[in-house]
């Protein structure tokens, strides 16, 4: 039995789709089972014979985290620790999702799993604390760091750009931050692959779609595909700007490019090119727009402002 935590979120909802597709026996929870409440977690798992736990829950509001430090650490650090302790007591393996924000972005080469973390904000600090809590509480864990997520539920950079392209003649996007966009469907497939194979190659892994780009070039590709699939029918000028021209409360990692060599070599999991994944996403948005999209904020951000 698999326990999926955070099944209503952007990533968790895609994981649940695959669990249903593969007829995997699973139970699911979201805010109805508070991960900051150890007893609630223990009571929930007691009802089922769980052998795997997938933790897709997280506090991801990067800027708000600076003002809500206690809440952020309660969810991302203490919550992760509670889940790991419950998993260990039940003899279950854990897949825990983390982030590129554990790094400071100052490295010029791709980040390896062995590189020393150095978070530069509360969100990254809380996620690193969560990783360390998991590793200290149990041995049967997979920590998967990812970056620049977008999917069919919730707010994300792609949906923000699509809305702005329909509303504005000009859109300004940061052009000096590098990383790899990641379609939640692909990350979900990687997680299910690990579980389906009953892997015991525990440890930290990186997974994103392949290829390195900037938020600006990411936005340009979104616009091109939106025009090709007739999601947008107007001319929009996309203007590259520097990080300094788009100030945010928290400094973003300049380089968020994560090496996927380990997950390929050890797990045999491939990472398709980010452009191919994005085209599939835009095509799906056009032909079968999900009915359960959550509303976007009235003034959505224009740059790289999303966490997990």
Label residue 219 by pLDDT band (50, 70, 90).
very high
Measured in whole angstroms, the distance separating CA 10 from the mean position of its chain's CA atoms is 8
Q: How many domains does the chain have?
A: 1
pLDDT digits (tens, 9 = 90+) for 264-290: 999 999 999 999 999 999 999 888 765
CATH number of the domain where residue 37 is located: 3.40.50.720
pLDDT at 295 over 60: no
Q: Could you give the CA distance from residue 228 to residue 104 in angstroms, rounded to a whole number?
A: 36
The answer to whether residue 25 is domain-embedded is yes
Angle between helix axes 274-287 and 215-228 (nearest 10 degrees) is 40
Of 26, 101, 123, 223, which one is the catalytic site residue?
A: 123
H/E run at residue 145: strand 141-146
Is residue 168 a part of any domain in this protein? Answer: no
| Domain membership flag for residue 217 | no
Does the pLDDT of residue 225 top 70, yes or no?
yes
List the domain range (segments joined by +) for residue 266: 2-156+181-212+256-273
Q: Is 123 a catalytic residue?
A: yes
Residue 25, Cβ neighbours under 10 Å: how many?
11
Q: Are 73 and 123 in contact (CB under 8 A)?
A: no
pLDDT for 124:
97
What gap in Å lies between CA 280 and CA 9, rounded to an integer? 20
> Does some domain include residue 114?
yes
pLDDT surpasses 70 at 307: no
Q: Is residue 164 part of a domain?
A: no
Cβ 238 vs Cβ 127: under 8 Å: no
Decide if 298 is inside a domain. no
Average pLDDT on 79-91 reads 98
Alpha helices per DSSP H over the chain: 10-21, 38-45, 69-73, 79-90, 122-137, 157-167, 184-196, 215-228, 261-267, 274-287
Q: Is 171 contained in some domain?
A: no
Closest CA to 10 of 293, 234, 298: 293
Task: Give the C-alpha separation, 109 to 93, whole Å.
Answer: 32
Predicted confidence band at 249 (pLDDT cuts at 50, 70, 90)? confident
Backbone angles phi, psi at 146, to 5 degrees: -140, 180
CB atoms within 10 A of CB 174: 23
225 falls within a domain: no
Query: Residue 191: what pLDDT?
Result: 98
């Amino acid at each position: 039995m698999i326990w999926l935590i955070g099944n209503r979120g952007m990533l968790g909802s895609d994981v649940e789709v695959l669990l249903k597709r593969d007829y995997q026996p699973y139970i699911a929870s979201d805010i109805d089972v508070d991960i900051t409440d150890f007893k609630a977690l223990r009571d929930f798992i007691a009802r089922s014979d769980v052998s795997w736990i997938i933790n897709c829950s997280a506090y991801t509001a990067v800027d708000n985290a600076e003002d809500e430090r206690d809440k952020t650490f309660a969810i991302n650090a203490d919550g992760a620790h509670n889940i790991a302790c419950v998993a260990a007591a039940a003899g279950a393996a854990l897949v825990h999702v983390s982030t590129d924000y554990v790094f400071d972005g100052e490295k010029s080469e791709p980040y390896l799993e062995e590189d020393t973390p150095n978070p530069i904000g509360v969100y990254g600090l809380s996620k690193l604390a969560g990783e360390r809590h998991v590793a200290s509480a149990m041995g049967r864990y997979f920590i998967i760091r990812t970056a620049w997520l977008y999917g069919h539920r919730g707010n994300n950079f792609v949906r923000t750009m699509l809305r702005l392209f329909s509303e504005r003649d000009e859109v300004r996007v940061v052009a000096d931050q590098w990383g790899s966009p990641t379609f939640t469907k692909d990350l979900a497939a990687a997680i299910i692959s690990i579980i389906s194979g009953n892997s015991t190659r525990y440890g930290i892994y990186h997974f994103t779609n392949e290829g390195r780009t900037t938020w600006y070039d990411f936005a340009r590709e979104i616009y091109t595909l939106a025009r090709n699939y007739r999601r947008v029918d107007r001319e929009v000028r996309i203007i590259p700007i520097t990080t300094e021209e788009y100030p945010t409360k928290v400094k973003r990692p300049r380089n968020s490019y994560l090496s996927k060599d380990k997950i390929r070599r050890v797990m045999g999991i491939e990472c398709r090119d980010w452009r191919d994944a994005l085209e599939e996403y835009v095509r799906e948005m056009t032909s079968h727009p999900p009915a359960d999209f959550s509303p976007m904020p009235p003034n959505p951000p224009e740059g790289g402002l999303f966490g997990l």
